[in-house]
Amino acid sequence: MTDTGWRGMVLCLALLICGSVGPVLAQEGPVRTGTLSINFGVQTASAFSATVPLTVNVEQGTLTADYEGGQLPGVDASVGMRVWKNLAIGGGVTAFRSGSFSGKGITARVSARIPHPIHYDRLRDVSGRGEGLAQTEIGLHLQAMWITSIRERLLVTVFAGPTAFSVERDIVIGVEAQETYPYDSAGFKGVSSQRVSDSAVGFNVGLDLGFYFSQHIGVGGLLRFSRGTVYLDVPEGEALSVETGGVQSTGGLRIRF
């Protein structure tokens, strides 16, 4: 995704939040002007496997890392502005990051074939786990929203639209080996990683349920699925194609106005 595209989406979202888009309508729908939600929760992360070249001792070996999936904790802030009856447009910002709460990062199971320091064509197999790998994913979602109330206090919103992703994550690019003369075998000592980033445009669809205690304040839950593909550059190899997004399950404060 280009910077221009990102800037455009940010501008649109800012205008929505400021309430300067769309007329102020008489309340003919479930909300008068719009909704605002702030949520905390998790997003599923896709497991993936990546093989990168490993040049050690003037020879190329291989390194394969199987990154675990799981759930990334994060936060979501969304806004919707009614434009006609039940129809609203809006957007949201999500930020999910491995280790935000637990302090742990992503774990990758690593297997590598490390070149011998003395001989060519005598690759040595090592395997282990790389832990504490960071993964941060920011999503900027533009949404067309259909808002309806099932009961007086229960507001249901379905939405869909494009998502701009910005992904930053640690990729394992090397293996630290435990080796001693004559170096015919090697043990796993650790990994070296590099933080890489990319952005991309994808989509999102979802459902929001809001239960209001009063005219304006309530609580609710949001279920959003987003998907995009980023390309992460690694040294010496082709960029890694990694799917981003996932199923977000969050809950939090609801405000309607």
Partner 1 sequence: MRSSFGPVLTIAFVVTGQWVVSLVEAQTISGVTRVSVGGWSDPFDVKKADALLEKMIDSGELSLEATHGDTQIPERKHEGFVQVFRGIPVYGGNISRQTDRGATVSIFGSIYSGIDVNPNPIFSVSDVAVLQSLSISLAPRQPAHPLKVVRRLDGSYALVYQLTGDDAVSYFVDAHQGHVVMQVDGKRRQSAVGSGRGVHGDLKKVSSTKYSTRYEARDQLRPSDIVTFGPVDTDEGLNRLAVGVVLPGDIATNRDNNWIRRGIVDTHVHMGWTYDYFFKRHSWIGLNGQNSKVYGVRSSSAFARNNAFFAPPPFGPDGQGLAIFGTTSQGTPITTLDIVAHELMHGVTEFGIRRRNGDGLVSTYEQTLGPSSVQIDGETVQCPALVLRSADGVGRSFVCSDGRFVLVSNHGGAIGEALSDVFGTATENFFHPQGDGPLTADYLLGEDLPELGRLSGNRPGPTRSLNDPASLRIDPVGAVGYPDHFSRLLRFALVRVGEGQLAIAPVVLFGDELFLLRSADNGGEHWNSTLLSHVFYLAVEGGRNRSSGKHVRGVGFMSRGQIESAFFRAVTELMPGSLLLPDMANVMRQAVIDLFGRNSSAGDAVFDALEAVGL
According to DSSP, residue 22 is labeled: S
Number of residues that bind partner 1 (CB under 8 A): 11
For residues 181 to 200, the per-residue mask of contacts with partner 1, x marking binding by CB under 8 A and - elsewhere, is xxx-----------------
Distance CA 44, CA 78 (A): 19
Q: Which is nearer to partner 1, 41 or 115 (CB)?
A: 115
In contact, 74 and 96? CB cutoff 8 Å: yes
**Closer to partner 1 at the Cβ: 182 or 235?**
182
Residue 175: name the closest of 104, 107, 111, 235 by CA: 111
Measure the CA–CA gap between 108 and 69, rounded to whole angstroms: 9
* Three-state secondary-structure class, residue 32: coil
Q: What is the DSSP letter of 6?
A: H
> Could you tell me the smallest distance in angstroms from the CB atom of residue 116 to partner 1?
8
Q: Which stretch binds partner 1 (CB under 8 A): 46-54, 116-124, 136-144, 209-217?
A: 116-124
Partners of 154 in the beta sheet? 211
Cα–chain center distance at 182: 45
Q: Which is nearer to partner 1, 6 or 183 (CB)?
A: 183
Q: Which two tokens stand for residue 217?
A: 């304040």
Q: Which of 57, 62, 111, 249 binds partner 1 (CB under 8 A)?
A: 57
Question: Which part of the chain contacts partner 1 (CB under 8 A), choosing from 51-59, 84-92, 188-196, 206-214?
Answer: 51-59
Q: For the window 119-138, what string marks contact with partner 1 as x by the rule CB under 8 A?
A: xx------------------
Rounded to 5 degrees, what are φ and ψ at 226? Answer: -130, 155
Residue 118 interacts with partner 1 (CB under 8 A)? yes
Q: Which residues contact 119 (CB under 8 A, 6 or more apart)?
A: none
From 11-19, 100-108, 118-126, 128-136, give the range in contact with partner 1 by CB under 8 A: 118-126
Select 153 or 189, whichever has its Cβ closest to partner 1. Answer: 189
Q: Does 113 bind partner 1 (CB under 8 A)?
A: no
Residues that bind partner 1 (CB under 8 A): 57-59, 116-120, 181-183
